[in-house]
């Protein structure tokens, strides 16, 4: 796999280009952190994170929940979006205003104006947790970008091609970084390497990642 080289990457308006329609926005979420953390807690009080099961029977190492009109779920029947939390039967929590503002501003900074997310998948990683290479393809609208926010422990983001076997860039992500990809990069495979235990001063031994999408 290719290693990510900051100095070899194209810098455009303080964005790090990792593809024709894909950018890392270093530290973009930092001004929002004091609003994001209590909002995350409020979402989890209504819809706690849980380890879902994939159609193949694999229990995910990452715990997850959702907010917004639609929430992504998985079980032995498949992957899909639902309007209600299958654990409670209640609608997913509303998307906090700070979440929506951050998502729209990050999308605009990456060149995707008028982004209106209706789904936010919140993932909670602990040391050893990972996310295998996958495509975000359960959405109905591929014209909108993906906006992914990282908080807490550092992680290595894998950004591959349009086939699972394509080589992946290895991109280090730190607390406050945002990755945005869309356009011709929208369906590229991506994932997260197993997290090392490198506690963050604010969040300890965890990484919180939330990903905004236009799903419906």
Q: What is the CATH number of the domain that holds 31?
A: 2.60.120.590
Burial (CB count <10 Å: 0-12, 13-18, 19+), residue 7: exposed
Position 14 scores a pLDDT of: 75
How far is residue 209's CA from residue 150's CA, in Å, rounded to a whole number?
Answer: 5
Residue 25: domain span: 2-213
Task: Report residue 162: phi and psi, to 5°.
Answer: -90, 0
Q: How far is CA 159 from CA 101, 119, 187, 207, in A?
A: 25, 22, 11, 18
Local confidence pLDDT in tens for the 216 residues of the chain: 333 333 333 434 478 999 999 999 999 999 999 999 999 999 999 999 999 999 999 999 999 999 999 999 999 999 999 999 999 999 999 999 999 999 999 999 999 999 999 999 999 999 999 999 999 999 998 999 999 999 999 999 999 999 999 999 999 999 999 999 999 999 999 999 999 999 999 999 999 999 999 999
How far is residue 215's CA from residue 20's CA, in Å, rounded to a whole number?
Answer: 22
User: How many domains does the chain fold into?
Assistant: 1
- From first CA to last CA, the distance across the chain in angstroms is 34
In angstroms and rounded to an integer, the radius of gyration of the C-alpha atoms of the chain is 16
Output the pTM of the full model. 0.93
The phi-psi region of residue 39 (left if phi > 0; otherwise alpha if psi is between -120 and 50; otherwise beta) is: alpha
Q: Are 103 and 147 in contact (CB under 8 A)?
A: yes
């Amino acid at each position: 796999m290719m290693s990510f080289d900051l100095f070899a990457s194209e810098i455009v308006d303080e964005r790090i280009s990792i593809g024709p329609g894909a950018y890392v926005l270093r530290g973009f979420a930092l001004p929002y952190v004091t609003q994001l953390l209590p909002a995350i807690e409020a979402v989890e009080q209504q819809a706690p994170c849980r380890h879902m099961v994939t159609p193949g029977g694999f229990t995910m190492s990452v715990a997850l929940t959702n907010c917004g009109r639609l929430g992504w779920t998985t079980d032995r029947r498949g992957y899909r979006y639902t309007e209600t939390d299958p654990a409670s039967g209640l609608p997913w929590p509303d998307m906090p205003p700070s979440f929506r503002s951050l998502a729209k501003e990050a999308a605009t900074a990456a060149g995707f104006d008028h982004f209106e997310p209706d789904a936010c998948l919140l993932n909670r990683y602990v040391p050893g947790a990972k996310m295998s290479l996958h495509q975000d393809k359960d959405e109905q609208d591929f014209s909108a970008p993906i906006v992914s926010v990282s908080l807490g422990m550092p992680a290595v983001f894998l950004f591959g091609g349009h086939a699972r076997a394509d080589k992946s860039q290895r991109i280090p992500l730190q607390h406050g970084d945002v990755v945005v990809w869309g356009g011709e990069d929208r369906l590229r495979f991506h994932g997260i390497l197993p997290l090392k235990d490198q506690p963050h001063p604010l969040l300890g031994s965890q990484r919180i990642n939330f990903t905004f999408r236009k799903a419906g």
